Amino acid sequence: MLLHFHHLTKRYGDNTVIDDITATLDFPHVLALLGPSGGGKSTLLRLVGGLESPERGSLTVDHEPVPTSDKSLRTYRSNIGTVFQSWNLFPHLDALANIMLPLTAVHGLAPDQARARAEELLERLHLNGHGQKRPAELSGGQRQRVAIARAVAIRPKLLLFDEPTSALDPEMTAEVLEVIADLKSEGRTFILVTHAMNFARTVADQVAFLANGQILEQAPAKEFFSAPTTETAQRFLAKVLKY
Ligand SMILES: Nc1ncnc2c1ncn2[C@@H]1O[C@H](COP(=O)(O)OP(=O)(O)O)[C@@H](O)[C@H]1O
Ligand SMILES: [Mg+2]
């Protein structure tokens, strides 16, 4: 996948969160977006997903410009799967209905087709027997796997994960990371923001390091973790890998 940013700029009031980024990110399947808190990772992910629009500049995903008009944005977004830290599944719908809803409401599948696809995914994500449970009846790890199933169900060209495990305890984190690793084995393409550094090192093809709204470096994951070139990245890694 090829991402190209051209003078990409995003501000919130006086706060320049994405600061005039011009860069090309080229990765076979998995990009890890790493960096200090507040550095702009979530915002960049939202720009790529068409959930925010830049103040200035532009971006393309596989040579296709991320649109700016509302109507084209809706179409664009419908081909991208997103999973956030605590994805709000619809609380009144059970797991199966949560997965089916975008398929019937946005992608025009018949209920039977949507159900078949949702059931297949529940099984693949080790959620057999949980389809009839509402989010409140599921563990945090199960809820995130339902959210992943929902994101994958639409057969997106790109998946975006923003700290999908940061609200989970270690055991549930492992369940969810396993599922994400499986997605890589299936050949899916995704961008992952995570604090799970060991996971990022093993799953990512490429790393982009973002701090203060700028991409300070990018490198193949192995290279980035063994020999970060900027002092900011060196300090960041020393700190997060210490404990
Ligand atoms: N919706 C928003 N409104 C105002 N400020 C925001 C908003 N989203 C993010 N910010 C600010 O933008 C900066 C970068 O945030 P974010 O992209 O969430 O960074 P990260 O994900 O790397 O922690 C932070 O200073 C944050 O407070
Ligand atoms: Mg964030």
Q: CA-based Rg of the chain, rounded to a whole angstrom?
A: 18
Q: Determine if ligand 1 sits within 6 Å of the CB of residue 12.
A: yes
Residue nearest to atom 26 of ligand 1 (CA): 38
41 Cβ inside 6 Å of ligand 1: yes
| Predicted local distance difference test score (pLDDT) of residue 64 | 95
pLDDT given for residue 200 in this prediction: 97
Q: Going by CA atoms, what residue is nearest to atom 17 of ligand 1?
A: 40
- The token duo for 152 is 């994958």
pLDDT at 199: 96
Instruction: Answer whether 218's CB lies under 8 Å from 174's CB.
Output: no
Name 166's Cβ contacts closer than 8 Å, sequence gap at least 6.
85, 194, 195
- The mean pLDDT values, 10 residues at a time, for the chain of 243 residues are 98 97 98 98 97 96 95 94 86 97 96 97 94 96 95 96 92 93 96 96 97 98 97 96 84
Q: Which of 9, 15, 33 is the best mutation target for the ligand 1 pocket, counting ligand atoms within 8 Å of the beta carbon and taking the most?
A: 15
pLDDT score recorded for residue 86: 78
Q: Which of 189, 227, 105 is nearest to 217 (CA)?
A: 227
Ligand 1 atom with least separation from CA of 44: 17
Report the pLDDT value the prediction gives residue 87, as an integer from 0 to 100.
65
Distance (Å, whole) CA 57 – CA 120: 41
Full strand arrangement of the beta sheet holding 15-26? 15-26, 2-12, 56-61, 64-65
- Written as one letter, the residue type at 227 is A
Domain ranges in the chain? 1-79+160-243, 90-156
One CATH from 2.40.33.20, 3.40.630.30, 1.10.3260.10, 3.40.50.300 for 1-79+160-243: 3.40.50.300
Instruction: Report CA torsion sign: 113, 115, 171, 211.
Output: positive
Distance 213 CA to ligand 1 centre (A): 10
